[in-house]
Every structure is written in structure tokens, then in C-alpha cells.
Amino acid sequence: MSEVNVTELDPDRLPEHVAIIMDGNGRWAKQNGLNRVRGHEAGAKSVRSVTELCRELGGIKTLSLYAFSTENWRRSNAEVSALFALLSKYIKLEINNLHNENIRIKFMGRTDGLAKALLAEMRDSEEKTKHNTAMTLNLAVNYGSRSEIVDACKAIVDDIEQGVLAKGDIDEQSISDRLYLPETQELDLLIRTSGELRLSNFMLWQLSYSEIVVTDTYWPDFHKPQLMEALREYQSRKRNFGART
């Protein structure tokens, strides 16, 4: 059972697709007199609580979490290695639990630069959970939105060269269909923790009309009550999609 009161939310107006820029692990560690890696470890616990609540609520069909950006390679080798070690540990620890909860796991991002063993774990976990239907957990690893759009453009050119697509037929759907996870494009709610007011190259195409909630809470302190708060905020918004109000 959850430690939050889920009846505070309107079950018919839950966002179908929630994405989170999980930021602030380093600042949380500093605040607590710990090194940055301890902050990332603590952040993994938040991944668990947030996934659990989304699953419990039922209406949220997809949760996308930004775990490692194409720009995060600019960090020290030690921190980058620690982040990938943590991802591997997370997969090993959580995969059975996710599977039992009927959650499908998917990864989005480029594979170059990732260790073969980690890639195998990622592929195995996708394979094991591919028939699960309750919710999809997308983990963005070595993900950059601009790279994703560049890769989609290349796929379009390939299809034109092979004669399966005509230039005149290219539309928004043609690009959406060639993103890393074409089946989960529309984003209803983007949450960013730790107060930064920027997108940091995350899902730029998909969040054209998503609601954005930024909280000052550092990611390791973001648990079920904080997610409830963000969902209440989402439900208080009026979405127009360009129509008259």
C-alpha cells in the first residue's frame, strides 16, 4: 500500500505519459556531506518509489526517466563509470520486480560508447518484459533529443533512397515514426527536479504540448508525496493545444 492518498487525484485525468528529468543528485550529496556517487545511489531509490506510484495509479501508461544524457560524457571518468555501474546494478536488482508488476522496460538513446555487457543487460531486460502491459518504463540512457532527431532524419533519407517514402509524403508523423520509441511520442507532463528551468536536450520533439512542472526538491528527496504534488499541479492546469480558451 502507498503512503499517499491516491484518492486526492481524479483517476480520469491522469497524464498518460509522464517524463522526469531526474536532477540534483550532486547537490543533494553536497548538502549531506557525501560524494556525488552517493547522491546517484540515493537517486536510484527515488526511481523505485516513483515507478511504484505510477504503477499503483494505473492511468499512467508510460514513465520516461532521463538517466544519462549525451552531454553527461563531459563529467569525470569516475562519475561516468559510477553512473553506468549503478544502471547495471539497478537492472539486476529491479528487473524481476518490474516483471512481476507487469511493467515493460525500454531504453532509448544511442548505443555507441556503452559497454557490451551493459548493452546485453539492457537488451535482456527489454526482451524479458516485452509482453508486459500495465505500464512502460522508458529509461533514457546516452540520450540526446537532437541526436534522436538527426537519427530520424537519416532514417527518412534511407527510406527515400530505398523508394519506400516520397519527399512529398514527409510529414510530422514521418518523423515521429522514426524516433527511438515511436509508440510513445506524446508527453503529457514533464517534471524537472532541483529547480533548473531548462530542458537539457530531453525529448524536445515529444514535449511540444506537454505541461511542465519544476520543483526545487532534489531528485533523491523526490518520492511518492512529491510526485502526488506534481500530479495535483498537472490536474489543476487547463490544456488548450492552441484552441480558443
Active site residues: 23, 72
Of the residues 53, 64, 66, 230, which one makes contact with ligand IPE according to CB under 6 A: 66
The residue written with cell numbers 536532477 in the block is 23
Q: What's the closest the beta carbon of residue 232 comes to ligand IPE, in angstroms?
A: 23
Distances (CA, A) of 27 to 35, 71, 80, 87: 10, 18, 17, 20
Sign of the torsion angle spanned by Cα atoms 112, 115, 120, 122: negative
Amino acid at 12: D
Q: Which stretch binds ligand IPE (CB under 6 A): 8-16, 17-25, 179-187, 229-237?
A: 17-25
Answer whether 231's CB lies under 8 Å from 14's CB: yes
CB-wise, 89 or 154, nearer to ligand IPE? 89
Q: C-alpha angle 15/125/142, rounded to 5°?
A: 70
Q: Tell me the residue nearest to ligand IPE as measured from the CB.
A: 26
For residue 237, what is its C-alpha cell? 492546469
Task: Supply the minimum distance, in Å, between the C-beta of residue 44 and ligand IPE.
Answer: 10
Which CB atom, from 23 or from 148, has the smaller least distance to Mg ion?
23
Dist. CA 72–CA 141, nearest whole Å: 10
* 25 belongs to the binding site for ligand IPE (CB under 6 A): yes
Return the exposure string of 188-214: e unless at least 16 CB atoms fall within 10 Å of the residue's CB, then b. bbbbbbbeeeeeebbbebbbeebbbbb
* 68 binding ligand IPE? (CB under 6 A): yes
Instruction: Give the bridge partners for 213, in sequence order.
Output: 191
Residue 96 Cβ, how far from Mg ion at the closest point, in Å? 30
The widest CA-to-CA distance across the chain, in whole angstroms, is 59
Among 41, 72, 86, 225, binds ligand IPE (CB under 6 A): 72
Q: Does position 24 bind ligand IPE by CB under 6 A? A: yes
Q: Site for ligand IPE (CB under 6 A): which residue of 16, 169, 196, 216? A: 196
Residue placing its CB nearer to Mg ion in the complex, 71 or 169? 71
Return the number of the residue (22 or 54) whose C-beta is nearest Mg ion: 22
Nearest to 50 by CA among 215, 239, 237, 238: 215
Interacting residue with Mg ion among 23, 94, 148, 211 (CB under 5 A): 23
Q: Which residues bind ligand IPE (CB under 6 A)?
A: 21-27, 66-69, 72, 83, 194, 196, 198, 200
Q: Which residues bind Mg ion (CB under 5 A)?
A: 23
